[in-house]
Amino acid sequence: MSGRAAARTLWESARPQGDVRRRNASAWLPHVTELKRDMRRFADSDEVDMVVVGCGAGGATFTQRLAHAGWKVVCLEAGPFWDPQKDWVSDEWGSHHLYWNEPRVVGGSHPVPMGSNNSGRGVGGSMVHFAGFAPRLHPSDFRVRSGDGVAADWPLSYAQLRPYYQRLERELPVAGQYWPWGDPHPYPHPPHPVSGNGEVMLDGCAKLGIEARVGPVAIANGRFGNRPHCIYRGFCLQGCKVDAKASPLITHVPDAIAHGAEIRADAMVTRIETDREGRRVTGVRYVRGGREYVQRAAAVAVAGYSIETPRLLLNSTSRRFPDGLCNDHDLVGRYVMVQGAPQTAGRFAEEIRMYKAPPPEVSTEEFYETDPAKPYVRGFSVQTVSPLPIMWAEHVAEQGHWGPDLRKRMTDYTHWATLGALCEFLPQAENRVTLAEETDRHGLPVARFDHSQCANDGQLMEASRKVMEEILRAAGATELMTVERYAHLVGGCRMGRTAEEGVVDADLRSFAVPNLFITDGSVLPTQGSANPALTIMALADRAACRLAGKEPR
């Protein structure tokens, strides 16, 4: 770093709290449950500037950015407007209402269970129960076809998304050590203290010569505005009752409301309305309290994620789009990806108490990029994970332990440490969402998701398991067990350079209908080996800024 750059870094770190407060205004606002009482409310007959479908990572960010630009925005969310103090509990079983529990059909040779680690319901979406892991994608993720001869290239580059990554890392904020992989970069907050599980991974990696880092997590290290310090109770996946973990419900939704947006919860959108010729969208049809309504809008953004977004488009048929809105090239619902997410645990003589920290506290991306010496392309990352007792019991039972044997092994819970991998599965056209014959309580065909692994996917799962076993053995584990899992969802309405390549362009605007946008994870052409939340928010931020003509400084 040059002397001038170093001086600038020191100057920025010493800038008054006012700059941080302006950038992170929502952290100093009254709690979202207070703000919503005086929230602006639009009539269905009002033609708002934008109606956004879904209030998760992409929808909430897009709503907040446009509200800042002075747009009249209504964000419709199928689930409730959560009150963390009343609606969330520090209990695994009692947290299932945070997930999308409407019926879905799964199939394929490797069907993916729908539930806690790949769906969300309510204001904040799945980020209210995500682990807090907030890494960036790598530059190579944007040119996988060019670099590795598989998958697809994005219609934009990493460099074009970098300023939005940086801005969101400051806004959430993200805490972690300097990140040496991909595009090396620091984080705005220092890393959190390391617990027993993190110490196990750091020790094992050090003995094997594997570089590992603490973070990055979207949890401020210390009090941040009105948001309290993390209390390290390990319930990130059940909703953070103390509001230390960032989610749109706590970060961007309050600021959107303060700038005049309406968040309309318990509103299930059933159809996107178009004009008679099917050339432009005119609003959305939705059900609320058992009654059907139509919200008029000059433009529509869909942010229902990788299952519900294709489902809504496929259900929105018309004379121009008999197979579903924007589906003139049979791309809606295709190329849906999950990440392989095996978890490997090791038993130690001493107590580890892996739950006493944010689950993803230590990570390595040493295996993220393609290694020419390996028989597969692309790679995986490894993090600490901390299954709580019920999930842990499911893992143990999956190994064949039951009855008295299961109870005996559960008394050992505090002696185990667990690592998890995120394996980059490749996009395949036949991994797709279609409409099933089964209907939901609104009479709408539900989504069917068919998923199968290719040979490369299976090789990555096996390679990641071996690495996790090596790390745990090096740290002193005396017994190992692995469970195969999936995590996250992306794809289904991917972006491309042309209408034959994607459903939307680089600005997330539909090729088929110019005033329709898709602002969620369904637009990702590839997924890397990273949690997608930060990338979804960055893409939505960029799309809103380009639409409103307000680029980040």
Bridge partners (DSSP) of residue 75 are 52, 263
Question: What's the predicted TM-score (pTM) here?
Answer: 0.95
- The 3-state DSSP class for residue 219 equals strand
* C-alpha to C-alpha distance for 121 and 111, rounded to whole angstroms: 22
Instruction: Determine what percent of the chain is predicted with pLDDT higher than 70.
Output: 96
Structure confidence at residue 2 (pLDDT): 36
DSSP H/E element including 273: strand 268-274
Tens of pLDDT along 84-141? 989 988 888 888 888 888 889 999 999 999 877 778 899 999 999 999 999 999 999 9
Q: What is the pLDDT of residue 369?
A: 98
CA separation for the pair 518, 305 (Å, rounded):
9
pLDDT confidence band for 17 (50 / 70 / 90): low
Per-residue pLDDT at 18 exceeds 70 = no
Q: Is domain 3-548 classified as CATH 3.50.50.60? A: yes
Q: Using one digit for the tens of pLDDT, what is the confidence trace for 398-421?
A: 889 999 989 988 999 999 999 999
Spell out a b/e string for 342-380, using b for 16 or more CB atoms within 10 Å of the CB, else e: bbbbbbbeeebbbbebbbbbbbbbbbbbbeeeeebbbbb
- pLDDT grade, residue 81 (50/70/90)? very high
**Res 83: pLDDT:** 94
Report the side by side order of strands in the sheet with 445-450. Answer: 105-107, 445-450, 432-439
Average pLDDT, stretch 524-530? 98
Residue of higher predicted confidence among 221 and 185:
185
- Per-residue pLDDT tens for 171-199? 999 999 999 999 999 999 999 999 999 99
pLDDT score for 15: 41
Under the banding of pLDDT at 50, 70 and 90, the label for residue 552 is low
- Cα of 178 vs its chain's centroid, Å: 22
pLDDT at 8: 33
Mean pLDDT of all residues belonging to the chain? 93
Contacts of 43 (CB under 8 A, 6+ apart): none
Q: Cα(first)–Cα(last) distance of the chain, in Å? A: 22
